[in-house]
Amino acid sequence: MRFDVAVCGGGLAGLCVARQLHREVPEAKVAVLERSRRPIPEACHKVGESHVELSSHYLGKILGLEENLEARHLKKNGLRFLCGDSQGPIAARPEIGPAEFPLVPSYQIDRGRLESDLRALCEQEGVALLEGVDVHDIELRGHGDHLVRTSEGEVRARWVIDASGRRRLLQKKLGLRRESPVAASAAWFRVRDGVRIGQLVPESERQWHARDIDDTRWLSTVHLMGVGYWVWIIPLASGYTSVGVVANADTHAFRGFNTPQRMRAWLARHEPRLAERLADVPFEDFGVRHDYSYMTAQVLSAERWACVGEAAFFLDPLYSLGNDFLSMANSFAVRCIGDDLRGDLDPAAAAELEGILLLLAADSSRTLSGNSRIFGDADVLGTKVWWDFFNYWGFSCRFFFSELWREPLDELRRFRAMAQRWYDLNTHAQRVLEAWARLREPGQAPRKKFVAMPAPRTVLADLHGSLLEDRDAEAAYARMEADHAVGVALVTELLVQALLDLGPTRAAALGEAVGLGRDWTLPISPERLAAEGLGRRERLSRLPPVARDLQRAVGRARSDTALAELLRLAEGAREAAVMAPS
């Protein structure tokens, strides 16, 4: 059999890329090779149920599945984090999450339902869906059709897309795997029960329940946070609830939660309120992934192959970004396939697209590693989430929502350079946040019991809502440029808040940890330095809007030592080290 495109794997990644090819490159003859046969269980035991803005936009707008998502799945109320004392009442734990339903839609996906619907749609649209076919090997032939060897014979194709999941056929064959900075493991299960976070809080906690005006808190992806771990609670339209534990190797041994019995005991120790709720509820299934994260050296080649979904890389699931990278890898590959079949594939454009994708993957991996101490600290976690959302909406979402991967080579180069600037800024932000959490005295009372994310009428909420605006490449670039300048002010404020919180005894250690004065100099203006000594109204009027909004959201750090002195101590530590004799 001969096709223009052979998609090796018919899970979510493979089915989505096949549908996208039908919609955008209708002349392509496409086959999906999948070893499992229908029917697929409606409630399917797969990770990847939680979708955030980028992947939800991909499913709804790029693949045209909006009606399906609204009718067959749950609209999601953002990401929600409960941190603090896990042994105490849930209502006493600081909460970070939306105060109202977000403007930009996202969804909780029943994977079985979606994949079953996608198989039917692909067949209706003329995709050759070859079920019961196990791919054994892919032989890449640079100047002719590639050869795919399967359990049912050979398939030849001009393009091969590896969507084989963690089998990673091409990555293993070509030696592309690279180590990830994330060192963590996960175990998860589903229960045939609607486990809602509000059920863990007595009705007498009226103030806590009153924050949930429309009874939509349960529609969030809820994260129960602790030092070195987090637990997800995800509701599904089929009536099941997905529950999982993600734990860093440096704080929690995998063998402590890698069986159903050990999982129950682990939850009883670390999240007793949830363990009580699940005490008499049977687990419908149970899955584990030890040391789950990996990166790759390459995902897309002008020699007519691509890796998508988990066949490319797997990041940490804290912010549900896995399906975002599936969406981007699919879209970049489809653009190249369309160019090739029309005779205009530019290898340099393919290289730029791959460079952007790998840079964003490295950026996200950096964001999602080194967070063990942050998870248990409500103040630092709230600040981190504020910055991480700003960074995510400011570049990744803007790039994808504006469909900038379709741009010509010169524009791709310009946006890759912009991506590098955001990456560099995020690197500084993560250094500050990690050092702040590491140097901070543990057990401090949180400044805020509830951090609205994003709070209405703030810079962050404006950025989020602006994703719904149509922008051409020039307007998108201009907005990224403006938002990057705001991001510089925001990262400056992260450093200011860390200095004020840590005080004079730890300012030098913070400066050394983040490389202040060595490879990083922040433009803290004289006005910002002087603002801390002013009265509330005048102080707020002197702050940049993003600094004011951050403080209102997560609370203000204070110190008896002037900010200018704290900054001098932070920068002086490096100066002293440079001047000391070797």
The Cα-based distances of 178 to 82, 174, 308, 314 in angstroms read: 33, 12, 16, 11
List average pLDDT for each run of 10 residues in the chain, which is 582 residues long. Answer: 97 98 98 93 80 98 98 98 95 96 96 95 97 97 93 98 98 97 96 96 97 95 97 96 96 97 98 98 96 98 98 97 98 98 97 98 96 94 98 98 98 98 97 97 91 95 97 97 97 96 96 85 80 89 94 95 94 52 38
Q: Are residues 413 and 507 in the same domain?
A: yes
Q: Are residues 136 and 29 in the same domain?
A: yes
Q: Whole-angstrom Cα distance, residue 22 to residue 548?
A: 48
Q: Are residues 103 and 125 in the same domain?
A: no
Residue 370 within any structural domain of the chain: no
What's phi and psi for 133, nearest 5 deg? -110, 115
Residue 572 within any structural domain of the chain: yes
Q: Can you give the CATH number for the domain in which 100 is found?
A: 3.30.9.100
What is the per-residue pLDDT for 43?
66
The Cα-based distances of 348 to 39, 332, 355, 410, 453 in angstroms read: 42, 13, 10, 10, 39
What's phi and psi for 234, nearest 5 deg? -125, 120
Q: Are residues 320 and 423 in the same domain?
A: no
Structural domain ending residue among the three candidates 268, 290, 312: 290
Residue 565 within any structural domain of the chain: yes
What is the per-residue pLDDT for 42?
72
Q: Are residues 171 and 227 in the same domain?
A: no
Residue 425 within any structural domain of the chain: yes
What is the per-residue pLDDT for 573?
53
What is the per-residue pLDDT for 576?
44
Structural domain ending residue among the three candidates 290, 305, 333: 290
What's phi and psi for 271, nearest 5 deg? -135, 70
What is the per-residue pLDDT for 523?
63
Q: Are residues 152 and 250 in the same domain?
A: no
Q: What is the DSSP letter of 148?
A: E
Structural domain ending residue among the three candidates 290, 313, 346: 290
Q: Can you give the CATH number for the domain in which 38 is found?
A: 3.50.50.60
Q: Are residues 223 and 97 in the same domain?
A: yes
Length of the chain in terms of residues written: 582
Q: Which domain holds residue 157?
A: 1-46+111-176+296-360
The total domain count for the chain is 3
Strands (E), 107-212: 107-108, 128-131, 135-139, 146-150, 153-162, 177-178, 184-191
Q: Are residues 381 and 523 in the same domain?
A: yes
Q: What is the DSSP letter of 2?
A: E
Q: Are residues 328 and 222 in the same domain?
A: no
Residue 497 within any structural domain of the chain: yes
Q: Are residues 330 and 443 in the same domain?
A: no
Residue 53 within any structural domain of the chain: no
Q: Are residues 466 and 530 in the same domain?
A: yes
Q: Do 302 and 189 meet the contact criterion of CB atoms below 8 Å apart?
A: no
Q: Whole-angstrom Cα distance, residue 345 to residue 334?
A: 11
What is the per-residue pLDDT for 520?
75
Residue 69 within any structural domain of the chain: no
Q: Are residues 279 and 301 in the same domain?
A: no
Can you list the alpha helix ranges (DSSP code H) found in 203-346? Answer: 206-210, 260-270, 272-277, 322-341
Residue 367 within any structural domain of the chain: no
